[in-house]
Amino acid sequence: MNIAVIYRKEAWYDLLSILRTPGFVIPSLAFPVVFYVFFGVMFNRGGASAYMLVTYGCFGIMGPAMFNFAMNIASDRAHGWLTLKRLSPMPVLAYLLAKFTTALVFSLVIVALLFTIAAVFAEVRLDLWQWVLLAVVLLLGTLPFALVGLILGLTLSDKAAPAVVNLVYLPMALLSGLWLPIHMLPSLLQQASWIWPSYHLSQVGLKVIGMDQGHALSIHLLLLTLSSILLAMVAVWSFKRLTGENA
């Protein structure tokens, strides 16, 4: 079978399996939309809504990436499905890219929903290039959170994964200034926000609309890149430890 067909089929069946899980689909799409409607539309307009569009956009794309990888990989491990996948001729990369593709699809839907609500109901007015660039930033920003989910999925049991993901996901969002503007957090927490990739992603997005904290774009991009490389290294180590392969 053509290798491209294998990758395409694996991606399609992974997405199909997720779409058949309402317990994943509904919260993943509903939470960022409901929060944005409540805080970004009902109580704000214009500039504040544009700011929250970015931060809740970051919050929205984090969830599907982390939960899809962590919960499903942990479940596949527990039921022996991951072992079967590894023993089959299918490349391991096809399995991982399929899950990343699913995360990207959910991120795209979330971004489209938030953008539509912002433009129609919250009076957010951006230039076309800003809408497009912001969407690209959010979609590319899915990667580090997919890696976090991968690490958790490779190291946690299927029963522990959902709780631990929430323990990582929700505090990370809060401490990165995704729920409240970062300047409203205590100064110590503002300084600590620099350790989170979600903070740097939100600042890159806010820079697109001219509402960031004013630090150099190169710094945020560099730290996002370094954190993604570090997470990828930990994920590779976790996989080799799980499979007993030599480093």
* Mean pLDDT for back-to-back runs of 10 residues, the chain (247 residues): 83 91 90 91 78 95 93 88 76 89 96 96 92 97 96 92 93 92 87 94 96 93 96 92 66
Q: What Å distances lie between residue 3 and 17, 84, 91, 104, 229, CA to CA? A: 21, 19, 9, 21, 27
Query: pLDDT at position 247, please?
Result: 42
Alpha carbon separation from 129 to 133, 179, 181 (Å, rounded): 6, 25, 24
- In single-letter form, the type of residue at position 213 comes to Q
Q: Is 0.75 topped by the overall pTM?
A: yes
The confidence score (pLDDT) of residue 136 equals 97
**Residue 125 buriedness (CB in 10 A; 0-12 / 13-18 / 19+):** exposed
Number of Cβ within 10 Å of residue 234's Cβ equals: 16
Q: What radius of gyration do the chain's Cα atoms show?
A: 18
Residue-wise pLDDT for 50-86, tens only, equals 999 999 999 999 999 999 999 999 988 888 887 777 7
Query: Residue 196: what pLDDT?
Result: 95
Residue of 69, 200, 239, 64 lying closest to 147 (CA atoms): 69
